[in-house]
Every structure is written in C-alpha cells, then in structure tokens.
Amino acid sequence: MGTGPGLVEPFEARVREHLAQGRITFAPRHRVDALVTSGEPTGASAEASTVWSTRASTGVPSGQAVTGVRGTVLASDDAPRGVATNREPVGEFEFTAQAVLVTSGGIGGNHDLVRAAWPQRLGPPPGVMVAGVPAHVDGRMLGISAEAGARVVNADRMWHYVEGLRNWNPIWADHGIRILPGPSSLWLDATGARLPAPYYPGFDTLGTLRHLRATGYDHSWFVLTRRIIEKEFALSGSEQNPDLTGRDLRLIAGRLRGGAPAPVAAFLEHGEDFVVADTLGELVVGMNRLATGSGAPAISEPALRALIEARDRQLANPFGKDTQLTFVRGHRRSLGDRLLRTAPPHRLLDPANGPLIAVRLHVLTRKTLGGLETDLSGRCLRADGSAVPGLYAAGEVAGFGGGGMMGYSALEGTFLGGCLFSGRQAGRAIAAQL
C-alpha cells in the first residue's frame, strides 16, 4: 500500500546514529550529474532517453575505475515530502570514494522515457498517463551510469497499473493514485464493452494493461455501487492510508465499521474521474461527458443496461454462469476478504445498493523492471560482462536486482524486498572490497 515511512524508519534510525557518530556525511540537495573515473570526468552528456531506448553505452575504457561523483548543489527548499523541489544551482561538488553505489530509482516519473521503452507486446503506449511516482524518479542516472560503462538491460520490462485516478489533491505533477480494488466492480473498456475473464479488478495487472492497450483508447471504466465502493476501494500511497501509516489502531478498526474510508470519500466528492448518479441514464450521461475529447465512441445506455441486467440476473441462481460473480463468491469464502474486502454479491441496478458510481481509470506509471545489469554482488557490468571497477547499483535502478530480477511480470507488492536485498548484497560486497 506504499506505507513507506514505517518501512524506512529502522534504517533511518541507524543512519542518524552513524551521522551522530560522524561516520556518515549526508549531502542533501546534491544532484549527481556525472560519475568520475580515475579522476577524469566522464561528462553528463548521455541523454537518458538515448541510453534507455538504444541500450548503447560508450563506457569507460577498461582498466579505469569509478572513483567518485560530481554534480550540482541545488538551492535549499522546504517543500513537503514528495513535492518537486527547485532545480536552482547554487554550486558544484565533487566527492571521491573507493566505491559508488547508484540507488536512484526507476523511470516512471518521466513519461517520455516510459513511452520510448514501451514494448510492442503491450500494444501502443498511452498518450495520456498519470504519474504514480514522484518527479525525482526520472531515470537520469541510467544514462549517467551508462556513460561510465554500465550496461542497461531489459529496458522493455515495466509494470504499470490500469486503475489510476487523477489525484484531486496532487503532491507532484500529474499525480495519479492507484485503486487497490476488491473483485466486484464491473470493468468496461472505453467503448463500454465488458472486459473478458480473467481481467477482473485486482486479478492480472499486466494482462489487463495489454488487453486495454489493444482497444485503442487510453481510459477504461469501473461501474459499481455505493455498497461496493464502501467495502472494496482502498487507495495506494502513504497519505491515502493514514491509519496504517500512522499505526492508528482506532482508525484501522474503522475499516470494519463500514462506510467509505475518508480518503475514498474525499475522492468521491472531489475526484474528477468519478460520476455518481441515481439512475443508469444519468450515469451514462456523466460518463460520456467525462470522455469527451478522448476519441472513444459514446457509451450507449441501452447496451450498458443490457450488459448489467444480464450480470444481475445471474445472482438469482446459485449456479450462475457469470465468471466474475463466481470469483466474488470464492473471495468471500476467506474470512478476511469477507470482512474487509469483498461486498456481498448484489444487483447493481437495485436502487437500495446505490447510488451508481462510474470511475474513469487511467494507466498509472509505477515500476521499472529492467535497469543496470549487475552481478550477485551488485557490481555494474559492461556489455562484455566485465565489471566496471568501483561502480555498484541496487534497488529499482538495477531492476530490483541484477538488471531485472522480477522477470517480465513481477509479483505484486514484492518490489521493496528486491530493493532491500540488492542493497544489502551491494553493501556487503563494498565493505568486503574496502
């Protein structure tokens, strides 16, 4: 759920302890623009987009080592966490070190880079996306590392969500929030056609992305009821989960009480992607108004009514043949899902369950699954397989380890593990080398 502060806390405490002991020098507002090799600057000329799309790297001549970093000191800034800070240069710096570990994150904040690397197997890249990561996730260090000889691999592997909302209260530009959906919402493409099995909410992120990209339109829709949103909508991000982020047991218990959690209710009230209506006719008018300019044909009320009625009819029969409803019933066999995550199956068109809600969904950029190729010690490798002396990489910039530890599809929610583990591997290897 992205409740990062709690995860960072134990590491932060240790870093602060080392700072107090004078063992660490912390240099905020220092932006690395180049890696220094054997005392010689390699320059910051590599455009990340070129490196990312062509995977070319001129590289440091063999025999030379990375011996430090150089860059720009940026003006101080008291912007809150996540908000893009100023890029105003106030000085330059150069640090020398026996080893440099790059942990600069992925590319999801730079949509041009995402589009440049977008793989054909996922269809054409979307024209409109929302950013699920802050502006600092800009992919710039990939080009800079490649200039120093590191090889970028598996650039076509990426993980983006298909349930992105435009944040009504954005922290960064184009800020998107991902819905962590329960299984009951009806999922329609931009033309109003229901998505085929198994592309139900929360089932297969990349499969659904591939399917939706083939429709030729950038957005899709959830159609649901008040009862579903109250039980099944959770939002990703630490600020969207004040109960978990703040470890507030009273607020957490509120999840059991029912009613939409406060962050979801705020989206219902302010979010530009939401349509709330008492009748299907009004809902469709609202959906078509929102989709104006998207190029998608207008959704037809009779067609949508027929689709929902066919789905609702299946509820009358315990042996119903609606695959999604069968899955919903399966979810409810698990106590946790029944209590917290899955609304009892009900008729969408029964006003007692209303009002009806439609939510326009965008592609939301998130994880970069490829990156700097490393060996098991986190040492960056050149195209010929030899290590770039002194240069290490870990975390998302290294594809969560190695240059693509997750493979093509990844496993939802396990990305931080790769960051921590690859960081530990690299840290131990560097300590052994010093």
Q: Which helix (H) or strand (E) holds 82?
A: none
Question: DSSP character for 22?
Answer: T
Q: Is 396 in the site for ligand FAD (CB under 6 A)?
A: yes
Binding window for ligand FAD (CB under 6 A); candidates: 212-220, 245-253, 280-288, 412-420: 412-420
CB 366 within 8 A of CB 160: yes
Give Cα separations from 311 to 302, 324, 329 (angstroms): 14, 9, 14
Q: Go through 8-24 and write b for each residue having 16 or more CB atoms within 10 A of its CB, e for each that does not.
A: eeeeeeeeeeeeeeeee
Beta bridge partners of 234: 180
User: Rg of the Cα trace of the chain?
Assistant: 24
Beta bridge partners of 285: none
CB 368 within 8 A of CB 160: no
Q: Is 147 in the site for ligand FAD (CB under 6 A)?
A: no
Q: What string marks each residue from 347 to 386 as x (binds ligand FAD by CB under 6 A) or -? A: --------------------x-------------------
Q: Is 415 in the site for ligand FAD (CB under 6 A)?
A: yes
For residue 23, what are its two tokens?
């063992």
Near ligand FAD in 238-297, by CB under 6 A: none
Q: Is 169 in the site for ligand FAD (CB under 6 A)?
A: no
Helix (H, G, I), strand (E, B) or coil at 72: strand
- CA 78 to chain centroid, in Å, comes to 25
Binding window for ligand FAD (CB under 6 A); candidates: 131-139, 266-274, 345-353, 384-392: 131-139
CB 221 within 8 A of CB 187: yes
For residue 232, what are its two tokens?
């099944």
Binding window for ligand FAD (CB under 6 A); candidates: 130-138, 296-304, 326-334, 341-349: 130-138
Binding window for ligand FAD (CB under 6 A); candidates: 60-68, 88-96, 308-316, 415-423: 415-423
Minimal distance in Å, beta carbon 134 to ligand FAD?
A: 7
If the CB atoms of residues 154 and 236 are measured against ligand FAD, the closer one turns out to be 236
Minimal distance in Å, beta carbon 416 to ligand FAD?
A: 4
Q: Could you give the CA distance from residue 348 to residue 188 in angstroms, rounded to a whole number?
A: 14
Q: Go through 210-245 and write b for each residue having 16 or more CB atoms within 10 A of its CB, e for each that does not.
A: bbbbebebbbbbbbbbbbbbebbbbbbbbbbbebbb
Minimal distance in Å, beta carbon 108 to ligand FAD?
A: 8
If the CB atoms of residues 136 and 347 are measured against ligand FAD, the closer one turns out to be 136
Please select the residue that binds ligand FAD; options are 136, 210, 329, 347, rule is CB under 6 A.
136
Only one residue has tokens 């990375």, namely 66
Strand ranges for 38-157 from DSSP E: 40-41, 66-74, 89-96, 100-102, 129-131, 152-153
Binding window for ligand FAD (CB under 6 A); candidates: 97-105, 166-174, 202-210, 274-282: 97-105
Near ligand FAD in 173-192, by CB under 6 A: none
Please select the residue that binds ligand FAD; options are 99, 137, 195, 429, rule is CB under 6 A.
137
Asked if omega into 355 is within 30° of 0 (cis), the reply is yes
If the CB atoms of residues 30 and 347 are measured against ligand FAD, the closer one turns out to be 30
Q: Go through 418-427 and write b for each residue having 16 or more CB atoms within 10 A of its CB, e for each that does not.
A: bbbebbebbb
Q: What string marks each residue from 207 to 246 as x (binds ligand FAD by CB under 6 A) or -? A: -----------------------------xx---------
Q: What string marks each residue from 32 to 61 as x (binds ligand FAD by CB under 6 A) or -? A: x-----------------------------
∠ CA 423-142-10, rounded to 5°:
25
Please select the residue that binds ligand FAD; options are 38, 85, 103, 288, rule is CB under 6 A.
103
Minimal distance in Å, beta carbon 237 to ligand FAD?
A: 4
If the CB atoms of residues 32 and 228 are measured against ligand FAD, the closer one turns out to be 32
Binding window for ligand FAD (CB under 6 A); candidates: 50-58, 201-209, 385-393, 414-422: 414-422
If the CB atoms of residues 104 and 225 are measured against ligand FAD, the closer one turns out to be 104
Q: Is 141 in the site for ligand FAD (CB under 6 A)?
A: yes
Residues at the site binding ligand FAD, with contacts judged by CB under 6 A: 1-2, 31-32, 103-105, 132-133, 136-137, 140-141, 236-237, 367, 395-397, 413-416, 419
